[in-house]
A and B are shown apart, each in its own frame.
Chain A
Amino acid sequence: MKKLFGIFLFLAIVYILLLVSNPGARSFRNHFNLGQEIGLFSILSLGVGMVIITGGIDLSIGSVVGLSSTLLAILLVDEEYSPLEALAVILALGAGIGLIHGLLITKLGLQPFVVTLCGLFIYRGAARWISGEQNKGLGIQFPDLKAFFKGSSDEFPRFLIFFLVLAAIMTVFLHLSVYGRYLYAIGSNEKAARYSGVKTDRMKILAYVLCSTLAAWFSFLYLMQYNSAQPSDTGNFYELYAIAGAVLGGCSLRGGEGMVLGIFIGTCIIRILPNAITMWGIPSNLEFMIIGGTLLIGAIMDETIRGGTWRGLLTRLRARFGR
């Protein structure tokens, strides 16, 4: 909890910066859009956060989003699947992708970075192949479906509601269930977990399956919101945003650390920051630099405060120059 305090403070600062930027930033409309975005992108952070907790990484989720949103549009429009069938197909696709990742990593002993990096290329290529490089959209079809999932823009952001439900389930899963305890144990010391009788391979596979399945669920909501998918574009860089959110929220890439609430706060920062930049009227081509710089400052602050580096440094300096 103490760890979360720092990052929460950081979020508060970014949010205040947003509020004072210009009147438009304080509007309900802006908050609604932010809420939708946060609700959407937190799904990915949560998924990859779980993998990071086990000490792994998933670089492929952006491409999984590209592939499954493209496929979803094709199934719904070209193949005339019912929405439920189409959703089932892409969730199964996500689960299958995660299963393959998990099996390659646990049974063949490949490195998660390598496996999912290959995935990043393969699924992006697959998306472009099945679509013939054509953008796939829903057009004006499925108005009711879209309306139900996006919600209307004068009420509480519906994506955020969906996410809060998901977050509640994940909190129980990660922090109260046996599975969650096993995931943390694996991330902290996989050998010890194995020597305690934990089925480590199975648990790691589960984490990858959930991560990719959540990416597929994200694609569904994404298509509802944005109405079309660009096979070569949709989802680009999303894995990096997701990882950034999870890491900013306290997941250690060494594994064994991270909380649902922290991941959520981290994602909030990642989404609010660009909004604040736009609202301040800062040229949008500086956006990436500012995000990167902020992340770096956050990481430095986190390491120095938590690692006690400052205190160590001060003690040594004091000793060297005679207290």
Chain B
Amino acid sequence: MTPFLEARDVSKSFPGVQALSEVSLRVDSGEVLAVVGENGAGKSTLMKILGGVQLPDAGELFINGKSVRLLTVKDAERQGIVLIHQELSLADQLDVAGNVFLGREPTWGGPLKLLDSRIYRDAETITRRLGLECSPRTRIADLTVGQQQLVEIARALSLQSRLLILDEPTSSLTERETSRLFDVLRELKSQGIAIIYISHRLKEVEVIADRVSVLRDGKNAGELSKTEISHEAIVRLMVGRELKQFYPRHRPDVPADRAPLLEVADLRWQEKPGQSISFSLKPGEVVGMAGLMGSGRTELAETLFGIRPLRQGEVRIDGKRLSLRGPTQAISAGIYLAPEDRRVQGLVLSFSVKHNLSLASLDRLNRFQMICKGQETTLANDMVEQLRVRTPTIEQRVEFLSGGNQQKVVLAKWLCRDPRVLILDEPTRGIDVGARSEIYGLMDRLAQEGLAILMISSDLEEILGMSDRVLVMHEGGLAGALPRDGLTEEAIMRLATGGGLER
């Protein structure tokens, strides 16, 4: 059987980088092919080539056995290939139907080009098929991220798509939305649509993929058929070696009577005065914080860092009450936050590595408010070396770094200021396996040096692997705390979804 799409020996280089060299890939109709690889392995470039966004330097593409050239996104769409980017590209003030048919609106009235309300009926037919239960007149801004994702897929289906490429579709979905998406994908598969699925979440790959193709350093690293797919097998191909002890947590025995470093007492939100949050962190502890999206974890982190006003409750450090009026007070107390979205909140993308690293420390790196360039460079070089940030020079714009290295820059920005409490919000989201284990190693080292770390994460594996204790949030309140012993994913999920401590 000829595959729906085949890429043969595709190569692509950018100034200074060989992004892809002689990569081949095929995907059949009615199949889910997972493409995995570390960041920078060339997945996105390959997908952009398949989607008509970029042209390959060499190599050929075949659709149903016929050689094709995909020069533009429109070309690809005509061939039935639709690429859905990680960052959704919807017009959020338009309604669902408007987005599904954007650029292809049926019109009437000849040259007047009046909009035909037929799109609402047509859009509804498609959204029904996807199980998206909202009126086609709903504004995109009023939908959840999961629903927005389905709108993107609806758009692809309205284009008579034969191959759907999904780039990290679940990165901001809840567990429920993810399983809903999987149902949709299975349904599409049974209708003969080919799907390429890109994800860092290997658990999901195990669930949904019929075949896995692994890229490493811009080359084919290997392929796994349905029966061979396992977490270890994928990781082995991705990194080219076995990862020993992925979660390198050495748990020193923190004496039970050691005084807490950070205490949160009876913190309450204005919107939910019925919920109260109290907990403490001891030096040397890594405390995981689990919960569903919207359970208030990020809000809590931002409150502790002073970004959000603390309306009710107390935050104490070393037993002394902290008056949090802004990040300044948190910073001078040694409480630092590595925020959830590093590209939006963590980094000034157009700044160099050096300028990002020094941004939070300019209050120390100056004489009479003039920046000491020498000290700034020394600091940047030291931190880059210490955290092994892979960058050609410290003058490199941080937007050109891989996700893992960007995250290291965010961490380094604070580590050079002698942290006492580190709040890490989704520290490894979108980061490849290699850099991930480095970040875990770093967290372990810091904890051993006596820091208290609060790690917020939606990745339960990570929570189980790294935490000494787990706090679970639900609906803006603390649903419970779980000790290390006997910690299971089920116990966490039960609390996160509103179940009690005991079954």
Q: Which residues of A contact B72 (CB under 8 A)?
A: 316
User: Roughly how many angstroms separate A79 CA and B459 CA in the complex, as a whole number?
Assistant: 72
Contact B351 A188 (CB under 8 A): yes
Contact with A along B360-371 (1 / 0, CB 8 A): 101100100111
Q: How large, as a class, is the contact surface on chain A?
A: 20 to 34
**In the assembled complex, how far is the CB of residue A253 from the closest CB belonging to chain B, in whole angstroms?**
15
Interface segment among A51-59, A96-104, A175-183, A206-214: the answer is A175-183
Q: A305 an interface residue at 8 Å Cβ cutoff?
A: no
**In the assembled complex, how far is the CB of residue B324 from the closest CB belonging to chain A, in whole angstroms?**
13
Contacts A177-B371, A192-B345, A194-B307 known; A199 to B328 CB distance under 8 Å?
A: yes
CB within 8 Å of B: which A57-108 residues: none
Contact A189 B366 (CB under 8 A): no
Contact with A along B321-346 (1 / 0, CB 8 A): 00000111001000001010000111
Contacts A178-B362, A320-B71 known; A195 to B371 CB distance under 8 Å?
A: no
Q: Which residues of A contact B370 (CB under 8 A)?
A: 172, 176-178
CB within 8 Å of B: which A204-222 residues: none
Contact B360 A185 (CB under 8 A): no
Contact with B along A146-184 (1 / 0, CB 8 A): 000000000000000000000000001000111101101
Q: B69 an interface residue at 8 Å Cβ cutoff?
A: yes
Contacts A172-B370, A177-B370 known; A191 to B327 CB distance under 8 Å?
A: no
Q: B25 an interface residue at 8 Å Cβ cutoff?
A: no
Contacts A319-B55, A320-B71 known; A188 to B327 CB distance under 8 Å?
A: no
Q: How large, as a class, is the contact surface on chain B?
A: 20 to 34
Q: A27 an interface residue at 8 Å Cβ cutoff?
A: no
Q: Which of A184, A191, A197, A319 is B331 in contact with, Cβ under 8 Å? A: A197
Contacts A193-B348, A320-B71 known; A178 to B366 CB distance under 8 Å?
A: yes
Contact B350 A195 (CB under 8 A): no
Q: A198 an interface residue at 8 Å Cβ cutoff?
A: yes
Contact B360 A197 (CB under 8 A): yes
Contacts A195-B307, A196-B360 known; A189 to B348 CB distance under 8 Å?
A: yes
Q: B408 an interface residue at 8 Å Cβ cutoff?
A: no
**In the assembled complex, how far is the CB of residue B468 from the closest CB belonging to chain A, in whole angstroms?**
26
Q: B413 an interface residue at 8 Å Cβ cutoff?
A: yes
**In the assembled complex, how far is the CB of residue A200 from the closest CB belonging to chain B, in whole angstroms?**
10
Q: B173 an interface residue at 8 Å Cβ cutoff?
A: no
CB within 8 Å of A: which B251-308 residues: 305, 307
Contact A195 B339 (CB under 8 A): yes
User: Roughly how many angstroms separate A182 CA and B78 CA in the complex, as a whole number?
Assistant: 47
Contacts A176-B370, A176-B371, A178-B366 known; A195 to B71 CB distance under 8 Å?
A: no
Most B-side CB within 10 Å, residue of A178, A185, A315: A178
Contacts A176-B371, A197-B327 known; A181 to B350 CB distance under 8 Å?
A: no
Contact with B along A285-323 (1 / 0, CB 8 A): 000000000000000000000000000000110011000
Q: Which residues of B contact A112 (CB under 8 A)?
A: none
User: Roughly how many angstroms separate A205 CA and B356 CA in the complex, as a whole number?
Assistant: 23
Contacts A195-B327, A316-B71 known; A181 to B347 CB distance under 8 Å?
A: no
User: Roughly how many angstroms separate A193 CA and B307 CA in the complex, as a whole number?
Assistant: 12
User: Roughly how many angstroms separate A179 CA and B331 CA in the complex, as a whole number?
Assistant: 19
Contact B371 A192 (CB under 8 A): no
Contact B362 A188 (CB under 8 A): no
Contact A188 B69 (CB under 8 A): no
Contact with A along B153-168 (1 / 0, CB 8 A): 0000000000000000
Contact B344 A191 (CB under 8 A): yes
User: Roughly how many angstroms separate A191 CA and B339 CA in the complex, as a whole number?
Assistant: 10
**In the assembled complex, how far is the CB of residue B399 from the closest CB belonging to chain A, in whole angstroms?**
10
Q: A39 an interface residue at 8 Å Cβ cutoff?
A: no
User: Roughly how many angstroms separate A178 CA and B339 CA in the complex, as a whole number?
Assistant: 23
Contacts A178-B369, A196-B359, A197-B328 known; A319 to B345 CB distance under 8 Å?
A: no
Q: Which of A181, A188, A316 is B371 in contact with, Cβ under 8 Å? A: A181
**In the assembled complex, how far is the CB of residue A127 from the closest CB belonging to chain B, in whole angstroms?**
36
Q: A256 an interface residue at 8 Å Cβ cutoff?
A: yes
Contacts A176-B371, A178-B366 known; A188 to B348 CB distance under 8 Å?
A: yes
User: Roughly how many angstroms separate A184 CA and B328 CA in the complex, as a whole number?
Assistant: 20
User: Roughly how many angstroms separate A172 CA and B366 CA in the complex, as a whole number?
Assistant: 13
Q: What are 18 A-to-B residue pairs whose CB atoms are below 8 Å?
A: A176-B370, A177-B371, A178-B369, A185-B359, A189-B348, A191-B344, A192-B359, A195-B305, A195-B337, A195-B339, A196-B359, A196-B360, A197-B327, A197-B328, A197-B360, A199-B328, A319-B55, A319-B71
With contacts A185-B359, A195-B345 known, what are 4 further pairs, Cβ within 8 A? A176-B371, A189-B348, A196-B360, A256-B350
Give me the 4 closest cross-chain CB pairs, A-B, nearest first: A196-B360, A189-B348, A178-B362, A196-B359
